[in-house]
Structure 1
């Protein structure tokens, strides 16, 4: 019969598993709400941070005018922005809760304590990016980093949950994990690059800079200003709501995103062809190709339909699915093959011979 200490350990571990999984789902929701906030132009719905016109809730028009006479209150946009902040703050509390719950287990072999600490560090950095997004008036560099930060939180929550599952099964972190091959590294790097390009497209309002597909504005290679479109030292100070770049610069950004999508697709296809023989990798590799195909279709539809709100949100959800699936694929690739799996594999190879 388990001791009281053992029962408490099991309950704590179950709670950690549940909360880490909640974190994966909740982070996805926060990222989507953040995308919605940006798409309805509510990123500056509150001109200050962390409050809204100096209040913890959206004030009335009179108080707002007294606080910021040059920033008239738009109640809907202010509430959208504050809801996003409330949810992001709740996510931060969840991270702190997970860290505190895991303190007693941090010295246990195999417990993913470093992942918990990394998650806290990234969520704090993400909060700073949230503040800079407002105070620097939607500076594209910060907006893009804010998106990448949110996706990093998502991956760390998933990594923490997977590590906790392994720990709950009594398996220690294996020292003999497989190292990522250049093909895996290329796929991960291209996905990160494509996500950054997507954030750059959104923050510079270049989503419909190209009309039509597969051509852009009726041309295969239209007039583009690459140096201005990817000038990463843009001036800090102007209000970047609706963007500051001219048409040719936005066209270059859009085309860059299309080229990135093509390169990512080739990398995922090569990855699948290379490792399809490993049965345990097929669900993740197949899922990646399907998710990529859906995401590609959503991107094309957004261009042809002039970026409707619901479709743009689906495109963001597609990016989340690619991140999760590639993270899961990397996790399962690095995990060592168990003796049972290795024996089964050898038997199949012998039959084929």
Structure 2
């Protein structure tokens, strides 16, 4: 009876962990929408929004001198915009919901894995601590009126949280399906790490480019959107050119890796997905460069980059499975079918 209860608890945990990972990717997409619509200061205070737990829908619901009130608090030129306010407010609500998911993941890990695999509990707790720090950092971003380096740090921390949650989900899945470490030539390992580092640098550089886009947008406005690209400066051109370097570094490990991987193996499928997503990311970048940065392209571009980084992390887990993931006994009754994917 106890064994059956444990299996149910572990199955529920695996589903919750996967849901939490997907929800974090959704939050990153929504965060991109906040930036692309210029809604970052839609709520000039935190945790409330214009001093209310549920923000207003019309300027008439605010004091007549609300701009003066916020000017005294250090926020200049605060102008209420219902659409931007509610985009930022919904972003905060989603962040709070994901914080709850991560707490539930930690609580469920204690019940399911405290005796069997305490690293899962430890990393679940680490994710809970990091998301709390992320909430505090988000408040600092608002208080700084969208300071550039704080936004970059905010994004970096989000990527770390994604990595921790992916590891928790992968480690829990390894308890129900034996993971055989994938072997590859040394050049695959070397270029996989190089491409991962380049992608991370490119992603953080893109965060800075988005900050420049915000500044140019405030300067020229929507009516002169066609001028934005020309005003972005050298960092934009470095970011654009680096995308081809990132693609080349990906192909440097994927092409030799695919020759060794089995076509039905999950790592083979992930490698194909990575190439496809990188090409889509370059396409969305070109669309922004040649079509005056359409609003929809920015969050899609960001989410594609984060997804590629996540998939590469999963590949790394397979390559180092003997060190990073638990190994099941050969006679384990909990091993699933061989064609069941790990994630």
TM-score (norm 2): 0.78
Is 1:276 paired with 2:258? yes
- Aligned pairs (5 A) from 1:324-335: 324-335=310-321
Pick the aligned partner of 1:20 from 17, 21, 33.
Answer: 17
Which residue is 1:141 aligned to? 149
| Structure 1 runs not aligned, ≥5 long | 210-238, 341-353
* 2:213–2:232 contact (8 Å) kept in structure 1: yes
Deviation at 1:68, TM superposition (A): 4.9
Which residue is 1:98 aligned to? 105
Is 1:61 paired with 2:69? no
* 1:183–1:271 contact (8 Å) kept in structure 2: yes
Q: Which has the higher contact order (CA 8 A, sep 6+)?
A: 2
Pick the aligned partner of 2:277 from 291, 298, 301.
Answer: 291
Post-superposition Cα deviations, 1:15-53, rounded to whole Å, max 9, x if no partner, equal 111111111221111111111111111100111111112
State how far apart, in whole Å, the 1-side matches of 2:201 and 2:306 are: 14
Deviation at 1:184, TM superposition (A): 2.4
Secondary structure of 1:55's counterpart equals coil
TM-score (norm 1): 0.76
Pick the aligned partner of 1:152 from 131, 137, 160.
Answer: 160
The verdict on how the C-alpha distance between 1:117 and 1:260 changes in structure 2, with shifts beyond 3 A counting, is farther
The verdict on how the C-alpha distance between 1:118 and 1:75 changes in structure 2, with shifts beyond 3 A counting, is same
Is 1:35 paired with 2:32? yes
Is 1:115 paired with 2:112? no
Deviation at 1:313, TM superposition (A): 2.8
Post-superposition Cα deviations, 1:75-109, rounded to whole Å, max 9, x if no partner, equal 22111111100110111111111111112322424
Secondary structure of 1:204's counterpart equals helix
State how far apart, in whole Å, the 2-side matches of 1:136 and 1:73 are: 18
Post-superposition Cα deviations, 1:116-151, rounded to whole Å, max 9, x if no partner, equal 122123212211221122110111111122222223
Deviation at 1:297, TM superposition (A): 1.2
The verdict on how the C-alpha distance between 1:122 and 1:306 changes in structure 2, with shifts beyond 3 A counting, is same
Question: Which deviates more, 320-329 or 195-204?
Answer: 320-329
State how far apart, in whole Å, the 2-side matches of 1:28 and 1:314 are: 11
* 2:42–2:81 contact (8 Å) kept in structure 1: yes
* 2:179–2:321 contact (8 Å) kept in structure 1: no
| Structure 2 runs not aligned, ≥5 long | 72-77, 222-227, 331-343
Is 1:161 paired with 2:147? no
Give the length in aligned residue pairs. Answer: 303
Post-superposition Cα deviations, 1:258-316, rounded to whole Å, max 9, x if no partner, equal 23212211211111133223314322222211211111111111111111112223212
- Aligned pairs (5 A) from 1:1-353: 3=1, 5-59=2-56, 61=59, 64-65=62-63, 68-69=67-68, 70=71, 71-104=78-111, 105-109=113-117, 112-169=120-177, 181-205=189-213, 250-279=232-261, 280=265, 281-336=267-322
State how far apart, in whole Å, the 1-side matches of 2:213 and 2:169 are: 35
Secondary structure of 1:73's counterpart equals coil
